[in-house]
Amino acid sequence: MDIQQKQIRNIAIVAHVDHGKTTLVDELLKQSGVYHEKQQVEERVMDSNALERERGITILAKNTSVMYKDIKINIVDTPGHADFGGEVERTLSMVDNVLLVVDAFEGPMPQTRFVLKKALELKLKPIVVVNKADRPNARPAEVIDEVLDLFISLDADDEQLEFPVIYTSAIQGWASTVPNEKGENLLPLFEMIESICLPPTGNKEVTQMMVTNIEYNEFIGRIAIGKLQNGTLEIGQNVSVITPQGDTTTQKIGKIFTFDGLNRREVSQVDHGEIIAISGLQPINIGETISSVDNPKPLRAIKIDEPTITMTFGANTSPFAGLEGDYVTSRHLKSRLEKELETNVSLHVSQTESKDKFLVAGRGELHLSILIETMRREGYEFEVSRPKVIFKEIEGKLHEPIERVFIEVPSEFSGAVIEKLGAKKAELVKMENPNPDQTRLEFLTPARSLIGFRAELLTDTKGNGIINHTFEEFQPYKGEIPAKNKGSLIASDTGEATNYGLFHCQERGTLFVGPHTKVYTGMVVGQSTRNVDIDVNVCKKKQVTNMRASGSDENIILTPPTILSLEQSLEFIGDDELLEVTPDNLRIRKVQLDSKKRIREWKSKQGK
């Protein structure tokens, strides 16, 4: 018989990037008394990762809790981007309710769709929070209609369509059940959570907990995090740990922690419905079930979206290898990737024919670029190849991943965007104008068409294009897509870039390096204005003579170099190029550094 834990509410908070969910959690923590009155509180406290703070996005799912009256509200902050689908899947399996935060002006946006779809499939109880209701251009009534349309398009059931609505300003710290009416505090939101959100239910007859996250502590080892769905657990208890493959081991629980505000509180025993952290189980992995020894029963494994993008990671082989990184060998690289697999369930890593190279598959370019950026900040030095999509054979036919793409551009550029994506085998499925000057476009597009497209979009729209995309499904192969030909400017000599050398190269294209930058033969130093690679000598020095030409020394005027970010570098590199990643620098290089050998290889391919 299932029993309700009426003193607990487990809630996932879901929103598109920048719609204010992390700020809302901050305010819930403040108003529930987690912080004392004079405590200095850092903004966006749930975004603890340095990359999250820089980019303003949530990458890792995190847990906290607040108290309202005698009810404990466990809150889980979820990633808003489809590339972190593995985090979303695990998070939603721990909760019974979902707080959908939408901007009072923008309404539901693409990444809202991705996470909400998962939540509705799991039959979670939704509450719609219309945030930023204090904005002068807020349009709450239209936004609610758009949310309803979104629920209908995602096949929500009748009960889910009757969602309650509350209007908030997270930045000002108030909530109201009436549109266009300012509240005093977040009390109406707390009351709605108490009265409407479903308490967790469970069975005392059997003990079951799915491990949905793993942390590591150097003093107590691996810590398993998840929701105790059934039964009870206590310190020192023997439990069965069941893998998704059915293998079972008997282990003893060390310590049990519950979430108390932003901290953890050690407890001796815990009942079902609570989100907990457990130490002492070694080894333990995501997706495994903790159950009782006398009646071990596994829970259904979490279904994770398949990877769609693959890249090759390898030890750095450039002439500058080992000069800037702390961890430079393939052994270091392999160890780090294996460690990432323990917590990043959407990632797949396999060995290639070369012992120094590894095939890494992920949910998208952002998913892999976050991994690359994290590793370089930890001191790793390595090289990566151009991203490629993963093809599948289904019923004897080749299939490829299709993305649902949402683009918002000024109306004057919509024709150019439609034409460009049309050439890339994209299918336009929706076009609307939220206002006369803006156009929203929705496409179904092969994932391979999007590699490098973001940079093209920004160029075509003069920096005003916004693009989001989520994985849709695998569809039959769409055929060849014409590749955009772009040539590279390649350093012909090793040395230090000079003003004189750069000045005579800049007319051939856009330079990526400035004066005094160290370069090596075969390193890409810019993008050519032509569709072919050009060797240039950026290290060239002016001939020294005892004659001085009047005025010529002062005529060297350099255009500032274009410094590519990590994402821009990944979009730029071609199939015959690599990106050298170090803690200090990102360098694009040719796979074959020797120009004569490159030409011979190119001619042999042309002859085939």
Instruction: Please report which helix (H) or strand (E) contains residue 65, including its range.
Output: strand 62-68
214, 225 contact by CB (below 8 A): yes
**What distances in angstroms separate CA 306 from CA 224, 391, 401, 460, 559, one per listed residue?**
24, 11, 10, 32, 44
Residue 122: what residue type? L
Query: In whole angstroms, what is the distance from residue 468 CA to residue 461 CA?
Result: 15
Nearest of 443, 452, 451, 448 to residue 417 by alpha carbon: 443
Is 21 within any annotated ligand binding site? Answer: yes
The DSSP string of 453-512 is HHHHHHHHTTT--EEEEEEEEEEE-----PPPP--EEEE-S-EE--HHHHHHHGGGEEES
Pick from 596, 175, 86: nearest CA to 367: 86
**Length reported for the chain:** 608
- Encoded tokens for 77: 């902050």
* Alpha helices in 172-231, H assignment, sequence order: 187-196
Beta bridge partners of 250: 240
18 is in an annotated binding site: yes
φ/ψ of residue 537, rounded to 5: -110, 95
> 255, 279 in Cβ contact below 8 A?
yes
Buried b (16+ CB within 10 A) or exposed e, 516-530: ebbbbbbbbbbbbee
DSSP string, 402-448: EEEEEEEEEGGGHHHHHHHHHTTT-EEEEEEEEETTEEEEEEEEEGG
* DSSP-assigned states of every residue in 246-311: S-EEEEE---EEEEETTEEEEESEEETT-EEEEE--SS--TT-EEEESSS--PPPPPP-PPP-EEE
Is residue 20 part of an annotated ligand binding site?
Answer: yes
Q: Which amino acid is at 350?
A: S
Which amino acids are annotated as binding site, given as ranges?
18-23
Which amino acids are annotated as binding site for GTP, given as ranges?
18-23
